[in-house]
């Protein structure tokens, strides 16, 4: 009888923790950014969040197109889906087309760590710690189970020293430094947020508001242009 009571209390505690994680979640059903290149809009980055009991599915859709004289000079498409159990990252699957260079990754947390399988169409090394792709050959690796994906929205990533690159599956080593409070612009006004600077294999600035929501990004593209995300609220 005592043993059954202890087990029941443990299960109740787990349920309460999961319920608290759900209650504290700062996002609504969707979260949308407009992306600008040197001040000109080039596309959107959309997140959707679906809760099913303790499970949360996060879907990412990114579509960029850079045009000149009416012609599309560069196109980027990314689709991803993450699964979380409360605050525990369980899996991710993504597909990316970076102007004709294609990537695909799948990663799942299991008893041995975060098991990653990635594929690419002749993609080069992406980071200093990356072994690179062999064209047409799946590449597998096991990363620490605490590794989070670089999908921007999760405030816990600012505590990390390495993340799973959600585009190409490489382990991205980062240093993340808080830069203080700033007032940022959104499509419908302004809000207060904390700025974080990412250096290392990921180089960008991100802003999170007091609720823990990702509310802005800025970074340099490979051609030197400035990409800025503006929250559409």
DSSP label at residue 28: -
Q: 214-227, pLDDT tens digit by residue?
A: 999 999 998 899 99
Average pLDDT, the chain: 87
Give the residue-averaged pLDDT of 107-136. 68
Q: 179-192, pLDDT tens digit by residue?
A: 999 999 999 999 99
- Report the alpha-carbon distance of residue 29 to residue 18 in Å, rounded: 18
Q: 48-107, pLDDT tens digit by residue?
A: 999 999 999 999 999 999 998 888 899 999 999 999 999 999 999 999 999 999 999 999
Q: Which pLDDT does position 135 carry in this prediction?
A: 45
Largest Cα–Cα separation, the chain = 77
pLDDT at 153 over 70: yes
Give the residue-averaged pLDDT of 10-34. 71
Phi/psi of residue 159, nearest 5 degrees = -95, 0
**H or E segment and range at residue 8:** helix 2-23
Q: Which pLDDT does position 119 carry in this prediction?
A: 85
**What is the DSSP pairing of strand 88-98 with strand 71-85?**
antiparallel
Residue 138 — pLDDT band, cuts 50, 70, 90? Answer: low
CA-based angle 105:126:76, to the nearest 5?
A: 65
Q: Which pLDDT does position 130 carry in this prediction?
A: 44
Q: Which pLDDT does position 131 carry in this prediction?
A: 45
Q: 45-61, pLDDT tens digit by residue?
A: 999 999 999 999 999 99
Query: Which contacts qualify for 83-88: CB closer than 8 Å, 24 or more apart?
Result: 83/55, 83/56, 83/57, 83/58, 84/55, 84/56, 84/57, 84/58, 85/18, 85/54, 85/55, 85/56, 86/17, 86/18, 86/21, 86/22, 86/54, 86/56, 87/21, 87/156
- Report the alpha-carbon distance of residue 168 to residue 95 in Å, rounded: 9
For the chain, how far is it from start to end, CA to CA, in angstroms? 53
- Report the alpha-carbon distance of residue 206 to residue 158 in Å, rounded: 9
User: Which residues, in sequence order, are bridge partners of residue 84?
Assistant: 56, 89
CA 109 to each of CA 30, 36, 80, 89, 229: distance values in angstroms, whole numbers, following the listed order: 25, 35, 16, 7, 30
* Tally: H helices and E strands in the chain: 1, 15
Residue 120 — pLDDT band, cuts 50, 70, 90? Answer: confident
pTM: 0.84
Among the listed residues 229, 211, 210, the one whose alpha carbon sits nearest the alpha carbon of residue 219? 229
pLDDT at 133 over 50: no
> Where are the domains positioned within the chain?
25-232
Q: Cβ contacts of residue 170 below 8 Å, gap of 6+?
A: 118, 126, 127, 129, 130, 164, 201
pLDDT at 17 over 60: no
Q: Which pLDDT does position 19 carry in this prediction?
A: 52
């Amino acid at each position: 009888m005592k043993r059954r009571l202890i087990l029941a209390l443990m299960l109740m505690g787990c349920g309460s923790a999961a319920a608290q994680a759900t209650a504290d979640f700062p996002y609504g059903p969707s979260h949308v950014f407009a992306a600008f290149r040197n001040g000109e809009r080039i596309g959107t980055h959309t997140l959707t969040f679906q809760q099913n009991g303790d499970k949360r599915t996060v879907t990412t859709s990114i579509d960029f197109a850079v045009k000149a004289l009416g012609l599309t000079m560069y196109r980027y498409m990314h689709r991803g889906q993450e699964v979380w159990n409360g605050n525990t990252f369980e899996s991710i699957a993504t597909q990316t087309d970076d102007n004709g260079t294609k990537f695909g990754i799948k990663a799942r947390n299991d008893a041995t760590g975060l098991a990653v399988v990635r594929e690419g169409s002749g993609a080069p090394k992406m980071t200093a710690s990356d072994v690179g792709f062999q064209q047409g050959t799946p590449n597998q690796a096991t990363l620490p189970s605490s590794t989070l994906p670089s999908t921007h929205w999760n405030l816990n990533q600012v505590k990390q020293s390495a993340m799973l690159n959600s585009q190409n599956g490489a382990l991205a080593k980062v240093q993340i430094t808080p830069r203080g409070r700033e007032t940022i612009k959104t499509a419908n006004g302004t809000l207060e947020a904390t700025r974080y600077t990412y250096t290392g294999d990921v180089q960008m600035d991100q802003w999170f508001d007091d609720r823990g929501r990702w509310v802005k990004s800025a970074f340099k593209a490979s051609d030197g242009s400035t990409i800025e995300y503006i929250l559409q609220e």
